[in-house]
Amino acid sequence: MQCEICGIEIRGRSQRITLEGTTLEVCNKCAQLGRPIKIWTPTPQKASPAGKAVYNKRTRRDVFDTLEEELVTGYDSIIREARERQGLTIEELAAKINEKASLVRKIERGNIHPEDSVRKKLEHTLQIKLTEEVAKEEYTERTAGKTTTLGDIAIIKRR
Ligand SMILES: [Zn+2]
């Protein structure tokens, strides 16, 4: 193999360069006269995946699990049974928690959900638990216009 510029016999590896639009196989010395042809290597380009990473991050923030305390179903009978177990009338229980008997009666009938302060007093007085932790997935930032991503599908299937 001879250098296409100076004509010497190339020992070892020849260099491939472009010089004025032509590709030449040359010796190491002559390689400096032209531009080396870059050999393609599968190194990942840093520019393009950046946008994708940002998008993934945002998707994760859109959908996340939170634990919420929720009033248990059947809280009304739990209260009534606990009250009866302690031998209290509605009036006596109401007096203990410093609330109106009519309110306690409505709660025991399931007509109204006790507000947090009342619920805590009932739980404390009757030694009961009226809430359970419920895992909720929030979709607050997702709007109808957004396209569904694979991540979204995975989450929907998991439910
Ligand atoms: Zn040469």
My answer on whether 77 and 30 are in the same domain is no
For residue 28, what is the enclosing H or E element? helix 28-31
Return the higher-pLDDT residue of 71 and 69.
Answer: 71
Question: In angstroms, what is the span from residue 138 Cα to ligand 1's centroid?
Answer: 68
Tell me, what CATH number does 128's domain have? 1.10.260.40
My answer on whether 72 and 33 are in the same domain is no
Question: In angstroms, what is the span from residue 37 Cα to ligand 1's centroid?
Answer: 16
| Domain-embedded: residue 45 | no
What span, in angstroms and rounded, lies between the C-alpha atoms of 104 and 118? 9
Question: In angstroms, what is the span from residue 111 Cα to ligand 1's centroid?
Answer: 96
Q: Range of 4's domain?
A: 1-37
Question: In angstroms, what is the span from residue 83 Cα to ligand 1's centroid?
Answer: 102
| Domain-embedded: residue 144 | no
Question: Where residue 3 falls among pLDDT bands split at 50, 70, 90?
Answer: very high
Per-residue model confidence (pLDDT) at position 20: 86
| Domain-embedded: residue 59 | no
List Cβ neighbours of 59 (8 Å cut-off, separation of 6 or more). Answer: 149, 151, 152
My answer on whether 22 and 77 are in the same domain is no
Question: In angstroms, what is the span from residue 40 Cα to ligand 1's centroid?
Answer: 24
